[in-house]
Amino acid sequence: MHDSCMIPPWDACRVARGEPGGRPMDREALPADGRRRIARTDVLLADPRLAEAAGRIGRGVVKAAVVAAQRRARAGEIPPDAVADAAVEALPPTASGLRPVINATGVLLHTNLGRAPLSAAARDAVAVASGATDVELDLETGRRARRGRSALAALLERVPRAEAAHVVNNGAAALVLAATALAAGREIVISRGEMVEIGDGFRIPELLAATGARLREVGTTNRTSPDDYAAAVGAETGFILKVHPSNFRMTGFTRGADVAELTGLGVPVVADIGSGLLTPEPLLPDEPDAASMLKAGAHLVTASGDKLLGGPQCGIVLGGEDLVRRLARHPLARALRVGKMTLAALEATVRGPRTPTEEALHADVEELRERAGRLAARLRDAGLDARAVESEAAVGGGGAPGVVLASAAVSLPEPCAPRLRRGAPAVMGRVEDGRCLLDLRSVPPDQDGDLAEAVQRLTR
Ligand SMILES: *Cc1c(COP(=O)(O)O)cnc(C)c1O
């Protein structure tokens, strides 16, 4: 380790106080008219590095970085002759405002971080599909073909019991389409124990009511029996809806009806499983999966693509040919359809190797401890107060509540958290008991190097 990598005492204090880092300015050395020595915007934009970036990500984006760097120089945060360098360093990696984030929260499916990260296979498929692609064309015959046919085929291969599949924008859209196509102006029979709020104030009963379907509530919050459903089913019934209470758990004096107990009532049973597992996941025995639901007799299953399935944001509908066709042919289906990049990512997720979500779920805790130990040692060598600690990770994404995944983390002083968050790449940790924890279960192992570098940057 070079001496320059060690934290000088002044910076250690800044870290401890959570202040922005950077070398201290020798303000005395600045001339009184230092302000005027800041280069003009057009001069800075002519810097070859910034000119190249303008061609790549757009002049407006580069200009914004330049203006921000000039402002920092005016505020005395950086020397006037460092404005171009600061602008180059602050350039976003793409023309989009979305920044790459290393998810060290220990929450595998973090809703605010876009839920499931895509596999390399899915990212490659997205890159190819982002250009002109045969999403709706048969290159053999030159004629129009069924949109997304290979993604739908992939789903059906994984869930052979499903006769047909359809893909929409998200899990909520799948429910809306089912409610509209099968129950608008009629009734959806639903247990009072399954009137779920998904998150951010969105409530499934309100979503369903917005389609023009009427909710026929049965049972009580804690107990609903098959007889309750049977008594409510009638000429007005569009379907029975079973909603997996994915983000909460009810224990004690409870009773629910299984799908298998409801399939003989002469009306379709729709199961909203949420998580998107296509087949059972042994590590999460309480999470429902599409194959088992269909086997139990569900006529339709709806799910999200970006939860435990580990794919892109989308909603998946699997089930009987006739019902799926009624959904797919409904005029609203056009408004809910997904783009070619989603179809590509979904197919590659379903056909490809284990997703990052599956990898994280199955990661061996001993390996996580070793990674945490190596990372902490490297950061300590760099002068940081870092230590490897035990941690508890969670599935997240409104799934598998109460499931604790043993994990390991690197523990840093709490003030590191906001600085890591503002870095590039941004690192999201978790603040617990006055320490900033970087939980490695949600970090793919191939990001350990980037994570170490991002943390070491705090010492500069
Ligand atoms: C997450 C979830 C939804 C909503 O799915 P989105 O993909 O977020 O629209 C609906 N129902 C259940 C049971 C869920 O868990």
> How confident is the model over 117-152, as pLDDT tens digits?
999 999 999 999 999 999 999 999 999 999 999 999
Place of tokens 């602008």: 87
User: Which CATH architecture describes the domain 120-353?
Assistant: 3-Layer(aba) Sandwich (3.40)
The verdict on the CB of residue 169 being under 6 Å from ligand 1 is: no
Q: Report residue 307 as tokens.
A: 């939860």
* Cα gap 390→177, rounded to integer Å: 44
Report pLDDT for 150.
Answer: 97
Report pLDDT for 21.
Answer: 43
* Cα gap 215→219, rounded to integer Å: 13
Mutational test site, ligand 1, from 112, 198, 249, max ligand atoms within 8 Å of CB: 198
Kindly tell me if the per-residue pLDDT of 292 is higher than 70.
Answer: yes
Q: What amino acid occupies position 270?
A: V
Domain locations in the chain?
3-90, 101-113+358-459, 120-353
Q: How far is the CA of 244 from the centre of ligand 1 (A)?
A: 9
Which of 398-402, 407-411, 434-438 is predicted with the least confidence, judged by mean pLDDT? 398-402
Q: What value does the mean pLDDT take over residues 193-212?
A: 91
Average pLDDT of every residue of the chain: 92
Q: Give kind and range of the element (H or E) at residue 189.
A: strand 187-191
Q: In what order do the strands lie in the sheet with 430-432?
A: 107-109, 387-396, 405-413, 435-439, 430-432
Q: Is 66 helix (H, G, I), strand (E, B) or coil?
A: helix
Q: How far is the CA of 349 from the centre of ligand 1 (A)?
A: 19
Kindly tell me if the per-residue pLDDT of 4 is higher than 50.
Answer: no
The fold of the 101-113+358-459 domain, in CATH, is Aspartate Aminotransferase, domain 1 (3.90.1150)
Q: How far is the CA of 301 from the centre of ligand 1 (A)?
A: 12
> Would you say 330 and 181 are in contact if contact means Cβ atoms under 8 Å apart?
yes
Q: Report residue 132 as tokens.
A: 């002109």
Mutational test site, ligand 1, from 203, 304, 314, 346, max ligand atoms within 8 Å of CB: 304
The verdict on the CB of residue 398 being under 6 Å from ligand 1 is: yes
